[in-house]
Each structure stands twice: as C-alpha cells, then as structure tokens.
A and B are shown apart, each in its own frame.
Chain A
C-alpha cells in the first residue's frame, strides 16, 4: 500500500511570490485529466472550514478523441497537454502549493502509450499523475456530490441514482438512504458512443435511434445489477447535463442546487436530439467538441432517468476535481476513513446479499477478525485501511459457494477480483480477494499466480491478514455464532487465546487448532487456546 508521492520535487526552495503567513496552511491543488479537458483547482483550507477556491483553470484537450478512436494519444494532443500542464505547474508554484493530487481517467488509462506519456509529464512538469480506475472516480464524485447536497433532502431520504456520463464511460452509483451500496462503470461514454457512430452513413434520425437502442440494451444490463426502479431521486453530474439544466432553467433565479422536473428534462432531450451537429453549434453556441457529445450524453441520462421513479433531476455542481479537493483536504482526518468504512461495508453487504451469503456467519467472522486485528496491532503494524480490507474480506470470504461449494475459496477469489466495492480501488480489491481466498485450505504460496501477481508489500499484508482470517473463520466453524468474545494474552513469549462462548465448541476447537499454525508461521509465536480457564487439548 505505498502511497503516491504527493509533494512536488523542489531543487531549491523558490521564493514565494505570494507571501504566506505562518498560521495559514499552504494552498493545495488538484489536477484532473479528463476526456475532453484538463483542469486545475487551487484552494486553501482554513482550519475547520470548507475549502476556498483560489484559482480554477480549464484547458480543452481532446485526449478522449484520440484514445477512443485510435487507441493511443497522438503527438499534437500530447504536446498541447504538456504545454497546458506546464502552465498549471507555474500557477501552482505561484501560489506556493506543496500538497497536490493529479489524476487521469479513462482517456489516458486506455491509451496504449499512457506510460510513456505520463513519464514525459513527470519529466517536463515535475507532476506525478496517478491513473485512477472507475471505482476511485465513483468515490471522489460521491464525495463531491455529498458536499454539494449537504442541505438537500435527497441526501438522506429515500434511494437515489447518481449518474455521471463521461467521455469514455458512465459512472453510476445506487445510494440507499444516501449511502452508496452499489456502483459500476458502464459503456455509456459520450465520446465513445459518438465515435462508434462516426462512419454511420444513414440519416441523423437513424443514428439517434441506434443510440437509443444501444443505451436501452446497456440499461437493461444495469437493471439486473442495480434496483434502478427503486430510485426516487436522480442525481446527474457532468458538463452536458449542467448545460441542459442551465438552458431549461433559463433566467429563473438560481437556487443553491439546480433542479429540473423530469418532464422538462425529457422534453429538452427530445428537442436537442432532433438537431444535427451544425444545428446544435448554431443554436446553442457550443464549440464543436462539446456539441458532438451533447446528444449521446443526454440520451444516456434520459435512458437511465426513465428507469427510475424520480420526479426531478438534481444537477449539483459536483465535479471529480471538487471531490479530489475535498478528499485531499481531509487526508489524515479520521472522519474520512470512518465514512469510507461505512460505505465500503454497505457495498460489501450488498454484494454478499447478491451471492446469498450466510450473513450471520459472515458478520461473526468479520467481528472476530477485527477483534484479533485490534489486539495484535503491536505485532502486525498494519493500518486502519488494512483493518477495513480484513473486515471486507471476512464478510465476503464464502461468496464462492454461489458458484460451487467445491473449491469455493477459489471462486471467492474470482468473484472478488471482478467486483466493485465502493471506496476500494482495484489494488485494494486484489488484496481483499487474496485474503478471502486463503481463508481455508492452502496458505499463500509462490506457486499461486494471483498471489504472486501482487507486489511484495501487498503479499506480506495478505499473509498477515489471511492468518488472522483463517483463525477467525475457525472460531465459527459450526456457523452457529457460538463464540462471544476472544481475548489474546501474551504469556511467556507466546499467545494464549481465551475463548468465551456458549454451547459445545468442539467444532470450533478442532478447526482452530488446525488453523492456528499459519498464524504461528507468520507471526512467529505459538498459539494455545483456553476456554473458561481450561486449555483446549
């Protein structure tokens, strides 16, 4: 779990152009490289207050068009991006920014020359850009939306669908009482859909119909994964839908959060869809690149809106970069991790339900696992984030049974390696999947490919966390939740686990004695067990 380098390399401390008083912390900055533009936000975070934006810059660079058409970033685009980023760097230096986070999404992620490109960025500008996956995008957008909707009823009441149609793909989250329990990334990116129609030689109308059909198909699949019909609120994020909301609301006084009715939104979509590209540029005075994505994007929002029972479309001004900013500002703040934990667990429970897990057993194993984790802190030296990964792995360790009871630990690995849990990155999920796989039978070994695919630090984390999980699982061997508490005591350099339970703990005893050996191997201490003062033979 190495954290990305986030401080700018400074050959010598430059003289700050803007003198910074000692009390105010330095401004922070975030850079977001999207499919049609790269953007910079510089803000300062006065203690105990929300961030105050100092500078917001956007440069149109069509990274998405290159990647989604040719699969790689072309030289002119790269040059333009580098120039723009140099300008951003200069601005950041002017403000004396030290802490920053720069991310790139699907347009860079899917380019075959992304590594070389990001290396050039680093050499030219000193900026370390992180490529993030769909689940991280979802997490950050959610943070921004939650901030914007702080005082809005949608935040806490009922269920909501949060949709962001980007250039490459659409990020969709289903919120239950405001908490994201499911999220995913789907092929409804506006630029991508536009590109697939680029050489369509039929009429504009036919093209639009094809789009509608394609969107309908994808929405059908989404409906099988998410209970769209249960969403009573529809929250839409993105430049295209913001444009639509502005046009629909026209000159009405601007409320805090723009809201338009379902009917008005659909009517606007129908109106726009009838126009071809030239007409859109003319009528709405949009640059070509924005005009191109308008129809596909609006059709995607419309297709999803129709599935819900929402009567309004809420369009908060919540962008990925705002989410980045808030996330960076809150780094090191315990509340952030606690929120993340709640969201991840809600999402994990939903996943467990989908695969019909034995919930009481899963929760008990999870409870025992974190109990052991907490008592072993001085031994394992792992962080609270690791604790969360253990908790999630413990909750979902048996979902492989859904595929087949035989070899279910391997099926658990497969399912977790391809599933999304809100708030956890792909790297996180790789660890979770491996920890869950090793809850029974073989211990991590060099011959196991998915394990060896992890980097060394991650492998060590997996060893420690799975050793704990194996024992926690053994302590509910009967699946009847008989163990009430466990206490770890150090005695003569070894460990004694005091087990407090109700009823016949024979199964638990047998299993624990068998599984404790890996714990000994990883932590180097022998483990014996005691129940009601008497040792387990």
Chain B
C-alpha cells in the first residue's frame, strides 16, 4: 500500500511517500519539504494570515499532485501548533478539504509528542534503552520520554523557534540582555518537565526536526567531523554548547556564510541553538543522537499500527478497486461464500449472453463488484437492506472508481432485489446508457442471486447452450435446490426481457436434465405486480 503522510508544521510543510510491506514496516520512496512559515506572526496574533494560508494551500496542491501521480492509496495529514492555536484554524482545514480533498487532523501537543516518539523508536537502535526524544519546531517544542512501546511522558511547550524569534529574539546579533531574557523564558517553560525527566532518568537523548538536524550538522562540522548521513550521528553536548556561544555572538551575515546552513533558517537558528543547549544542560545530557525521522514518519507508523488489516489487504489485492470493494464488504460482515458464488454465476451468465447485451469489460467488472457488495446492506438492518446497500456503495469510500461507475455499482447492488422502476427517482435520473447498464447488469445479478437463494452454494457451475432460438442455462447442482427453484423462473423471465432473447434455466445432474414444479399462473400473475 502506498501512503503519503503530510505534516503541516508552523515552520515547514513536509510530505513523505512510502510503501508498506508485509512485516508492518515501510520503505520511503520520496520526500518533499517546503518552508512555508505558516506560524509566522500568527502565533502571536492568534490568526493565520491569508498569505500564509495561500502559500500552504499552494504547496499542498503540489504535494497532492505528486501523491496522485505516484499512485498513493491514502493521504494522511496532520496540523500542529500554528493551526491548532489559530482562531481560524478550523476554517483553514475546511478550506484545504474543500479545495484539495485532503483532510488534515489538528492534533494536540501531547499527540504530536507521542507520534514523534514513535518515529524515533522505530528508526533509532534504542535496544530497550530509556529514550528522551526532543523535537524543536516552529511553534512548539515536543518532549517525550519512554522505554520501548511504553511512553511515560509526552508534552508540548509553546517555545518553538519561529515563536521565539518573532517574540523574544528581536535583535541580531543577540544582545546579552535578550539572551538572558530568552534563557529565563525557556527555563520557566521547561522547569516542570526537566524535573520530571531528571527524576525518571534516561539513557539516551534523541533529537528530531529540521532545526536540531541543522544544529547537529553545524556542530559536527565545526568539530571537524562530517558524517555521511546525519541519521544516528552522535553530537556531544559540549559541541552544541560551543556552537551556541558562537551563534549568540554572530550576525546574520556571518551565519549565512556557514557551510551547511539553509539560508531560510539563518534567523531562527539562533534561538534554536540557545534552546537546545539550555535543555541539554538542564537535563544533564552528555550527547544527542540525531534522527532524520520525525512527525511525518510517526504518522505513517501510527497508521500502520492502527490499520493492520487494511495494510495486509493491500498486499493481497494490489488492484485498488478490488481491494476497496473487499474492504467495504468485509467491514460490513458480508457472507463471503455466498457473495463469491453469486459473482461467479453472474459472470458466467454475463459471458454467455455477450452477444445479446454487448456490454464490455468495464461493465463486467462492475457486475462482479456489485455481486460482491449486494449483501452489505444487511449489516445495517434487514428491512430495506437493498437500499442500505445502495447508500453504502455510494458513500462508503470506494477507491479507484469514476463517479458514474459508483452510480452504476450502487444501483445494480440495490436492484439485486426487485427491479428498477422509472418511478424510482434516483434510477430515473441516470443517463440513458447507465440506465440500460443497470437494467441489464441487475437482471444478471438477480438471476445469479436466486441461484444461491439458500446460501449453500448448491449450484456448482453453469453451462449455456442454444436450443430452438433460446439460451438454455444448465445449472449443475449438488443438493436440495427447492429454494433456488422457487424464485428463479421469474428472474430468468426478467433476464429474457432485458436481453430480448429467451433464457431458460434447467437443472443438470449427471446425465439427466430434471425439470422443476412451475408455480401456478395465478402466482406468477401476482408476482408480476
């Protein structure tokens, strides 16, 4: 299954594209990142600016195109502090939904911390050690503490670098006064957490997020070490401290000259350095392990953990349409044996009558899917179950179908019981070609369904011959077919009408062809109502 996970952070928008595998893990196949500064000024004002929202939507539109062209089955998205603290946050998320059909969830700081911890847990060799995970974002800082799957602490503080740089660090270079103010502000926010962390203890500190990775890279470079990859690189706290002291005295020009510093980060890196250094000192950490995975990977892991069956199904059914259909059917507890038998019989009938109906392969697959789905309405209730099937097919999030295909599917599933009638508003509203398709396909489905009325799959297969201008369908059966025989002649009659050619169904067993008692004319007349 291919999943795209998007993180709408206060500083940057990230997307990761990954393929899940059978072991419950995944393989990253692509990444995107753009610094949109959603939280710029909004964190102080309490509203997202129109310009920032526009920027974000443009970037998301691009991400969506990438996800689509890469065939992503699912797009997950979360929004963090900038959105959750803005009065117009919900409006913004709604607008994204309406414009792009992406529906980000605004998550709380605690949830954010938990997901970041998940990312670290699954990417760093912790081997059962107690880990303190730190993420320094634009709006907020997340701290999580745990061992293995047990998360003991997950907190969020509103001291992200964008916020600090806009509200506190107003000078460049950082004056001593501002430095002191900054540290005081940070201490006040971090004190309760630091105490808790020191009391609980930890074995390793892991740092995620662009700011920490940037600081780590810079520190290592200044220390003369340039690792091939930042992931898993260990940075001594002393080197962070040295870096911080240099940064505090630097101005933006000097920083821009630094190798490896993204110029978009040149301003916010200073409070970032102060923050990281202060925190490491306060908790008494000797070093920090860099981690390239962050919230977006955490989202993926969380999704996979919560939806093992969906992921497994993706492996079993690579075709997204088929998978989606089976997923909906399973969700509704369908009678799998019956549904598959009806699908098989319906397709046999369809194939035998091609010269009469002249429908093609795409309609054939719609017939198969509607056969698999025809019984799902029972999950809601017995009464009106055919209408429930229609509703579920229409609204149950089937993937990979064009809207008109969904309409046909929904109607064929509904008409597995009773015929389409012009007075049914929804049916009458379909375009002519689709109405015809529904009439023909549902007639096949009803006959196939009647051939397994007992739900015991007594009809093993069908063979079709022509005899005297009529199509003779021989049903090869094993077992009692009284219930099947009861409704079937009528459905055969309806199919005949739909095809313009007589269709007769006979029971075949061994060599003899047996006939069945026909209901009285009176009954047939009444049933024709």
What 0/1 pattern do residues 524 to 537 of A give for CB contact below 8 A with B? 00000000000001
When distances are taken between beta carbons in the complex, the residues of chain A under 8 Å from B483 are 210, 213-214, 217
Distance in angstroms between the alpha carbons of A210 and B395 in the assembled complex:
36
Q: Do the beta carbons of B84 and A507 come within 8 Å of each other?
A: yes
- Which residues of chain A are near B395, meaning CB under 8 Å? 403-404, 407, 411, 414
Which residues of B sit under 8 angstroms from A537, Cβ to Cβ?
A: 46
Query: Which of A201, A209, A220, A404 is close to B482, meaning CB atoms less than 8 Å apart?
Result: A209
- Scan A168-202; emit 1 where CB is below 8 A from any B CB, else 0: 00000000000000001111000000000001111
Complexed CA–CA distance, A200 and B89 (Å): 67
Which of A185, A202, A221 is B378 in contact with, Cβ under 8 Å?
Answer: A221
Q: Quick check: B383 and A185 within 8 Å, CB to CB?
A: yes
A420 within 8 A of B: yes
CB < 8 Å neighbour of B108 from A186, A506, A514? A506
Instruction: Write out the residue numbers on chain A whose beta carbons fall within 8 Å of the beta carbon of B323.
Output: none
Do the beta carbons of B108 and A478 come within 8 Å of each other? yes
Contact A201 B520 (CB under 8 A): yes
What are the interface flags for A218-247 relative to B under an 8 Å C-beta threshold, 1 for contact and 0 otherwise? 101110110000000000000000000000
- Of the residues A186, A210, A403, A514, contact of B392 by C-beta under 8 Å: A403
Q: How far apart sit A455 and B520, CA to CA, in the bound complex (Å)?
A: 47
**Closest Cβ–Cβ distance, residue B152 to chain A (whole Å):** 16
Q: Can you list, as one digit per residue, whether each of A397-411 has a CB less than 8 Å from chain B (1) or not (0)? A: 000001111110001
Q: Whole-angstrom distance from the CB of A482 to the nearest CB of chain B? A: 9
CB distance from B193 to the nearest CB of A (A): 14
Q: Does B110 contact A (CB under 8 A)?
A: yes
CA distance A50 to B523 in the complex (A): 50
Contact of B84 among A221, A222, A224, A510 (CB under 8 A): A510
Q: Give the Cβ gap from B274 to chain A, nearest Cβ, in Å.
A: 24
Q: Please measure, in the bound complex, the distance between the C-alpha atom of A257 and the C-alpha atom of B233, giving whole angstroms.
A: 79
Cβ of A296 to closest chain B Cβ, rounded Å: 16
Asked if A506 and B85 make an inter-chain contact with CB atoms under 8 angstroms apart, the answer reads yes
Residues of B within 8 A of A503 (CB): 110
Give the Cβ gap from B436 to chain A, nearest Cβ, in Å.
28
State A185–B382 Cα separation when bound (angstroms).
9
State in angstroms the CA–CA spacing of A513 and B110 once bound together: 22
B294 smallest CB distance to A (angstroms):
21
With a cutoff of 8 Å between Cβ atoms, the chain A residues found around residue B333 in the complex are 224
In angstroms, Cα B380 to Cα A217, docked, is 17
- Given known A-B contacts A220-B455, A504-B108, A404 and B520 have beta carbons under 8 A apart: no
B455 touches A418 (CB 8 A): no
Most B CB contacts (10 A, CB to CB) among A206, A217, A506 go to A506
Measured CB to CB, the nearest residue on chain A to B524 is A199
How far apart are the CA atoms of A215 and B378 in the complex, in Å?
A: 16
Question: Which residues of B are found within 8 Å of A210, using beta-carbon distances?
Answer: 482-483, 486
Q: Is A7 an interface residue (CB 8 A)?
A: no
Q: Is B397 part of the binding interface, using a Cβ–Cβ cutoff of 8 Å?
A: yes
Interface: A376 (CB within 8 A): no
| B482→A224 contact, CB < 8 A | no
Nearest chain A residue, comparing its CB with the CB of B155? A504
Fill in one digit per residue for A477-489: 1 if any B CB lies within 8 Å of its CB, else 0: 0101000000000
Q: How far is the CB of A468 from chain B (nearest CB, A)?
A: 20
Using known A-B contacts A225-B381, A510-B84, determine if residue A217 contacts B482 with beta carbons closer than 8 Å.
no
A221→B382 contact, CB < 8 A: yes
Given contacts A201-B517, A210-B482, contact A225 B391 (CB under 8 A): no
B-chain residues with CB within 8 Å of residue A225 when the two chains form the complex = 378, 381-382
Cβ of A132 < 8 Å from any Cβ of B? no
CA A214 to CA B384, docked complex, whole Å: 17
Q: Is the CB of B519 within 8 A of A510?
A: no
Instruction: Report if B388 contacts A (CB, 8 A).
Output: yes
Report if A279 contacts B (CB, 8 A).
Answer: no
- Contact flags (1/0) for B389-428 with A, using CB distance below 8 Å? 0011001110000000000000000000000000000000
Which residues of A have CB within 8 Å of B383?
A: 184-185, 418
- A504: B residues at CB distance < 8 A: 108-110, 156
The B72-127 residues at the A interface (CB cut-off 8 A) are: 84-85, 87, 89-90, 103, 106, 108-110
Residues in A whose Cβ lies below 8 Å from that of B453: 213, 217
A184 with B381, Cβ < 8 A, contacts A404-B396, A506-B85, A514-B90 known: yes
A199-B519, A200-B523 given; A403·B396 CB < 8 A: yes
Inter-chain contact A510/B90, CB cutoff 8 Å? yes
A328: interface (CB < 8 Å) = no
Answer yes or no: B522 CB below 8 A from chain A CBs: yes
In the complex, A201→B331 CA distance in Å? 42
Q: Which of B84, B486, B522, B523 contacts A506 (CB 8 A)?
A: B84
Say if the beta carbon of A266 comes within 8 Å of chain B. no
Report whether A418 and B380 are in contact in the complex, using a CB–CB cutoff of 8 Å.
Answer: yes
Cα-based distance from A1 to B13 in the complex (angstroms): 52
A210 to chain B, nearest CB (A): 6
The residue of chain A having its C-beta at the shortest distance from the C-beta of B397 within the complex is: A404
A113 is an interface residue with CB less than 8 A from chain B: no
B84 and A418 contacting across the interface, CB-CB below 8 Å: no
B379 at interface by CB-CB < 8 Å:
yes
Complex Cα distance A202/B523, Å?
Answer: 13
Contact partners of A277 in chain B: CB under 8 A: none
CA distance A186 to B383 in the complex (A): 8
Chain B, residue nearest A169 (CB): B383
Question: In whole Å, how far is B378's beta carbon from the nearest beta carbon of chain A?
Answer: 6
B90:A511 contact, CB within 8 angstroms: yes
User: What are the interface flags for A487-519 relative to B under an 8 Å C-beta threshold, 1 for contact and 0 otherwise?
Assistant: 000000000000000011011001101100000
CA–CA, A406 and B75, complex, Å: 14
Which residue of A200, A405, A418, A507 is within 8 Å of B381 (Cβ)? A418
Contact of B87 among A206, A403, A513 (CB under 8 A): A513
Bound-complex Cα distance A217 to B385 (A): 14
- B180 an interface residue at 8 Å Cβ cutoff? no
State whether the Cβ of B454 lies closer than 8 Å to any Cβ in chain A: yes
Q: Are B380 and A406 in contact (CB under 8 A)?
A: no
CB interface residues, B 445-489, toward A, < 8 Å: 453-455, 482-483, 486
Is the CB of A415 closer than 8 A to any CB of chain B?
A: yes
Beyond A214-B483, A222-B382, A404-B396, whether A200 also contacts B46 by CB under 8 A is: no
Complex Cα distance A430/B520, Å? 43
Interface centre among A209, A407, A418, A478 (most CB of B within 10 A): A418
Q: Chain B residues with Cβ under 8 A from A403's Cβ?
A: 391-392, 395-397
Contact of A419 with B by CB under 8 A: yes
Q: Contacts A213-B482, A414-B391 given; indicate if A224 touches B519 (C-beta within 8 A).
A: no
Complex CA gap A185/B381 in Å reads 10
Q: What's the minimum C-beta distance from A297 to chain B, rounded to whole angstroms?
A: 19
Does B384 contact A418, Cβ atoms closer than 8 Å? yes
**Contact B392 A510, beta carbon cutoff 8 Å:** no
**B519 is contacted by which of A185, A200, A216 (Cβ under 8 Å)?**
A200
A419 touching B380 in the complex, CB below 8 Å, given contacts A217-B454, A507-B84: yes
Alpha-carbon distance between A280 and B517 when the two chains are bound, in angstroms? 26
26 contacts between A and B (CB under 8 A): A184-B383, A199-B523, A200-B520, A200-B523, A201-B517, A206-B482, A206-B517, A210-B482, A218-B382, A224-B333, A403-B392, A403-B395, A403-B397, A404-B395, A405-B397, A418-B383, A418-B388, A419-B380, A480-B108, A503-B110, A506-B85, A510-B84, A510-B85, A510-B89, A510-B90, A513-B87
A residues adjacent to B (C-beta < 8 A): 184-187, 199-202, 206, 209-210, 213-214, 216-218, 220-222, 224-225, 402-407, 411, 414-415, 418-420, 478, 480, 503-504, 506-507, 510-511, 513-514, 537
Contacts A200-B520, A201-B519, A224-B378 aside, 14 further interface pairs with beta carbons under 8 A come to A184-B381, A184-B383, A186-B382, A199-B520, A199-B526, A213-B453, A213-B454, A213-B483, A225-B378, A411-B395, A418-B381, A418-B383, A503-B110, A504-B109
Binding site for A on B (CB under 8 A): 46, 84-85, 87, 89-90, 103, 106, 108-110, 156, 331, 333, 378-385, 388, 391-392, 395-397, 453-455, 482-483, 486, 517, 519-520, 522-523, 526
- 8 smallest CB-CB distances across A and B, nearest first, come from A213-B483, A199-B523, A404-B397, A199-B522, A199-B520, A201-B520, A221-B382, A403-B395
